[in-house]
Amino acid sequence: MSIINTDKWITFDNRDKILELQEICSALRINDVKIRDPDNPAKLNEAKLVSFYF
């Protein structure tokens, strides 16, 4: 499992390939989530939760 800030996710050059792989591989899941901002816990930041099951 990995949590990736959405701003960081957008910078990935290969994110289209990762999303295509998700379509093919049922063990890979990428979900949109909201996480608390460490500097301001009242604020929620958008992120991606990447999970791989085997």
Task: Report yes or no: 49 and 30 within 8 Å, Cβ to Cβ.
Answer: yes
What confidence category does residue 7 fall into, taking pLDDT thresholds of 50, 70 and 90?
Answer: very high
Provide the domain count of the chain: 1
What confidence category does residue 22 fall into, taking pLDDT thresholds of 50, 70 and 90?
Answer: very high
Domain span including residue 26: 2-52
- Residue 54: predicted pLDDT: 84
DSSP lists the bridge partners of residue 37 as 40
Query: Span 29-39, mean pLDDT?
Result: 95
Average pLDDT over the chain reads 94
Query: Span 24-41, mean pLDDT?
Result: 94
Q: Which residues does 48 contact at the CB level (< 8 Å), separation at least 6?
A: 3, 4, 6, 9, 30, 31, 32, 33
- pTM for this model (two decimals): 0.82
